[in-house]
Structures are given as C-alpha cells and as structure tokens.
Amino acid sequence: MSNTKAFQRLAGLFLLLALSSATKADSYMGRMVDSAADNSRLALDFSSRGSHLTKQDPIAYTHALGFDWLTVISDDKKDIGTLLLQGYLTRLHNTQMFPGFFQDEDDTEFVYRIFNFNYTALPGNLPNIRIGHMEVPYGLEHVINTNGTLRQYAQPKNLGIKADWGVSLNKQHKEFEYEVAATTGGGQSLDRQDGSYVFSGRVGSPRDENFSYGVSLYRSKLKNLQRERLGIDARYHIGLHGIFAEMSLGQNGDIEIRNAQVEWNRINRRENITGFTQLRYFSAEQASGRYADTLDGSIGIRYSPDNSWTLSSQYTRDIDTAAGADKQSVFSIQVRYRYFPLNRK
C-alpha cells in the first residue's frame, strides 16, 4: 500500500478522534480529548544536511520539514496512552545512498518517523500496547534515539530496517524494561511486501542507571531475505564520559553474520555539546567459509546553542573493506531548528 493510503487510514482514525471532541465537554470521551489538548507538545522541525562522499561531486543534500507532536491522553485518575506523531516531508538532492522508500537520488517523499499510540492503561504488571510506526526494538538504538540525527548505530545495515508499522508490548519495571514487536516489514508502507515480516524484542536493565545492558532477538524476512540475530548491548557512564557497545551474531539466509560496534562519547556539564567516536565491524561468511570483514569509524560533534537549534557534524571513513573494495569517506554537516508554536497554559 502506498504512503498516501496509509496516511488516509490514519487521517480517518484522527478524524474519529476529532469528532469525539464534539461530544459534550463533561463526557468521559470529552475529558480525554481535553486532556490530549492540554497535554500537547508540538514542534515544527526543519533540518538541512549536506554530505560529501569521497570522489563524488556535487554534495548530497537532505532537507526535511515536518512536525513532532506528543500528547498524553488521560481520564480523571490515570493516563490512557501516549500519542506520538512525527511526519516529515523529506527532499533528497544528489543523495546516492538513499533508503529504499525513495525512488531515486532526487526524490521527495512524506516520511513517517515515529508515528504511534502507546496504550498504557492496563493495570499492574500488564504491558503497554503500542500500535503504529515504531523503531524496531533492538540493541542500542532502542535506548538512544537517533532519528533525524547524524549520529547513527548499525541498525539499518545489521537488521535491514530501522522503523516499521506494527504492534508491540512494552513496559518499564523497577528492575527491568522490555519491548517485543511484530511488524509488517513494509518500512514506510503499512502493508507487507512479498510476505515480509519482522519479529524483534529487547529486554534490558533500566536505561537510566549508569551501567545498563540488554539482550535482543530479531527475525525477519525482508526483500525475500531471512535474517536472524541475537544481540547484546551495554552502556556505561562515568562522569561526563560514556562507553556504549553492541554485538550481534546471526544469519542472513545461509550466511553467518557477526557484527559489533563501540562508541565513546563525552558531554559538557550543560550537556549541550556531545562529542563521539564510533567503530563498526561487520563480517559475513563467504562461500569459501572465510569471513569478509569490514570496519569503519566515525567521529562527530553535536552542539545545541539554545532550545531550538542543533548544529552537528560527522566524518565517517572506511578503515577496512571487504575484497579490496574502494575505501569511502563521508563528511556531513546538519543544521536543525525546532519551532514550538503552541504555548498553552
């Protein structure tokens, strides 16, 4: 199904929500709609990125203009759920390495980032139920949000997908947290593509601790390629420094896959400057039984001078490539501005 159809379905859902606001104000539904309005956070989000790939001229641009809307729907005594909608009109220009939902290197598409409702009203230890477009719960990416930022982890290369439409069960407990998802494998599309599917899940210790870790499982069929992964990840913070690591083992079809990544980062006291460096290792078994290894590294910085602006830059370079392929490097700069039009009570 096309993005347009997906959007129409969602628009219908939200129209129903909007109509419910026409019910009398003191009704249960009316109070929930009021709470959604009162608890609303809205940002208009603009970003412009320029990337220069080795030996490529001209520079590749990605411009995104979108909205980021978060609200909590409540009744008198409890939260019912959280609605988070992020949609971006995204324009590529000369972008050679583009995600599959773009037609070519000079395309414009409406892109859903996170677009879901998390129902949180089940009592006790029963899980929350998330439905919509969500990040595939796996590894470091599940803990550190990198949507719309230069800093990325190995998720797309390792799993073949970063976010997808589907449903998940999730919960934070005092001692652990988890999210288990079943999604369509359609990526930006609501529908399955050639029988695609994704099952993924991560169980981890509470992410706010100075040392946290998690175990992830993943199984998918995307573009007729079956993938399986078992991953572990860990984060350790000491003072202003952080060390993150993730390791995965598994298969792409019959090919054994091993990959790992490690990051060291440092923040300043105000936490408006983050510097980081990453190493990513990816290894795939060849027909000969030997492994073809690749290694790349990134160094980057992000600076937020105020609540709206974020300036970031990153340099990524291949350190070791498989079968003597050309070593590439990419230098990127991004400017991001978030404008907050609502200033409710």
**Nearest CB to other proteins, comparing residues 258 and 317:** 317
Q: Which of 43, 92, 161, 181 binds other proteins (CB under 8 A)?
A: 43
Cβ–Cβ under 8 Å, residues 231 and 248: yes
Q: Which of 269, 287, 289, 326 binds other proteins (CB under 8 A)?
A: 269
Regarding 4 and contact with other proteins (CB under 8 A), the answer is no
Task: Answer whether 174's CB lies under 8 Å from 189's CB.
Answer: no
> Nearer Cβ to other proteins, position 28 or 339?
339
Q: Return the residue matching tokens 């003597």.
A: 324
Footprint (CB under 8 A) of other proteins, residues 52-91: 52, 57-59, 61, 63, 68-70, 72, 74-79, 82, 84, 86
Q: Counting contacts by CB under 8 A, is residue 174 touching other proteins?
A: yes
The reply to whether 110 sits near other proteins by the rule CB under 8 A is no
Examine residue 147 and tell whether it contacts other proteins (CB under 8 A): yes
In the complex, what is the shortest distance from the CB of residue 239 to other proteins, in angstroms, rounded to a whole number? 5
Task: Closer to other proteins by CB, 79 or 293: give it.
Answer: 79
Which one among 48, 193, 252, 321 touches other proteins, defined by CB under 8 A? 48
Of 291-310, binders to other proteins (CB under 8 A) are 304, 306-310
**Nearest distance from C-beta of residue 66 to other proteins, angstroms:** 10
Q: Does 336 bind other proteins (CB under 8 A)?
A: yes
| Beta strand 211-222 pairing with 329-339 | unpaired
> How many Cβ atoms are within 10 Å of 167's Cβ, its own excluded?
15
Question: Measured from the CB of residue 323, what is the shortest distance to other proteins in angstroms?
Answer: 26
Site string for other proteins, 240-259 (x = CB under 8 A): x-------------------
| 238 is a contact residue toward other proteins (CB under 8 A) | yes
Tell me how far apart the alpha carbons of residues 219 and 229 are, in angstroms, rounded to a whole number. 7
Write 72-79 long-range contacts (CB < 8 A, 24+). Answer: 72/35, 72/36, 72/39, 73/32, 73/33, 73/35, 73/36, 73/39, 74/32, 74/35, 74/39, 75/28, 75/31, 75/32, 75/35, 76/31, 78/121, 79/120, 79/121
Q: What does the DSSP assignment read for 52-110?
A: EETT--S-EEEEEEEEEEEEEEE-SSSEEEEEEEEEEEEEEES-SS--TTSSSTT-EEE
